[in-house]
Amino acid sequence: MKRLLSFVILAYLSVPVIVYLLPWTLGHAIFSHMLRFPFSVDLSRPEDVLNHTCNFYLDTEEGVSVGVWAVNHRVQMVKILSAAGNHVLSLDYRGFGDSTGEPSEAGLTSDALYLYHWVLQHSGGSLVCLWGHSLGSGVATNTAVKIQEQGSAVEALILEAPYTRIREVVITHPLAKMYWFLPGFQSLLWSTMETINIVFANEENLKCLSSPLLILHAEDDSVVPYHMGQKLYQISLQTKRRLNTQVQVEMISYKAELGFSHSSIYKDPGLSHTVQKFLQDLKH
């Protein structure tokens, strides 16, 4: 029993040491790109999961090839959006799925930016919307900022379960909470994230973005606290007033009793109508 207790204590105390000595391990934990689920899916055959779906690859940089379709809970979301008549492309960032390369904030943003420009070239003038869920919300706003810096603006931006800044999510994660009482642990996490260049600052990005915005967030989100979505909504309203624009800024909240949490907003029977109305209003 003593040996078991000693092992547990050693394992517990080793985590901060590992993060300090090997900062890249925190990046792997944030991206979780080494976790392949479900294991049985052949990513080159998306038609096994989604009807009328094909898989293709884009070379976003030299030596980096990313697969484009959908995985995990997003399959359900893609089904709903596709059924409503939308053409949906979902990206496996570098290092995820069967895409090559190693993930980084700059790399993920570069992949999304490449896909966005590729879609523009093949859209035939149709409205192009960026949709980011959870970690992807930071990629989406980063990409939107890059596009705006290039002299244009994203036609529509939808953020599902977005956070203010990725470090705020990391520090509130149940595993991180186990170390809150250790002096300097929060500072260690934040400094490590700066070292490995992981910021994903949605709150800063939305202070300058002028694109139409729709935020979807469940009150019972157990991963990204609901108040973060509320704060981003208020920031966007302030940006709208400061820039003196009439751009759409909306937030749809889902009551906790619905049980949608972090990854089940697709279960909302009115989701398709909500999204379509948002996009249709942009055309008027």
How many whole angstroms separate alpha carbon 66 and alpha carbon 98?
7
Catalytic residue among 90, 110, 134, 137: 134
Residue 221 is a catalytic residue = yes
What is the CA angle 115-84-43, rounded to 5?
Answer: 45
Q: Which is more confident, 32 or 229? A: 229
pLDDT reported for residue 252: 97
3-state secondary structure of 154: coil
**Is 262 a catalytic site residue?**
yes
Task: Find tokens 């889902």 and name the residue.
Answer: 254
Cα separation, 217 vs 229, in Å, equals: 6
Catalytic residue among 211, 221, 236, 263: 221
pLDDT digit string, tens, across residues 54-95: 565 666 767 666 656 544 445 666 667 766 677 778 777 787
Question: Is the four-CA dihedral 235, 186, 176, 18 of positive or negative sign?
Answer: positive
- Among 9-18, 96-105, 274-283, top mean pLDDT goes to 274-283
Which residue type is seen at 101?
A: G
| Residues with Cβ within 8 Å of residue 104, at least 6 apart in sequence | 27, 196, 197, 198
Q: CA 220, CA 224: separation in Å to the nearest integer?
A: 9
Q: Does CATH place domain 2-281 in 3.40.50.1820?
A: yes
Instruction: Indicate the SS3 state at residue 217.
Output: strand
Residue 146 confidence class, pLDDT cut points 50, 70, 90: very high
Indicate which residue of 210, 262, 268, 272 is catalytic: 262
pLDDT value of position 5: 61
Domain map (residue ranges) of the chain: 2-281
Locate 131 and state its tokens.
């949709």
Report residue 105's pLDDT band, with 50, 70 and 90 as the boundaries. very high
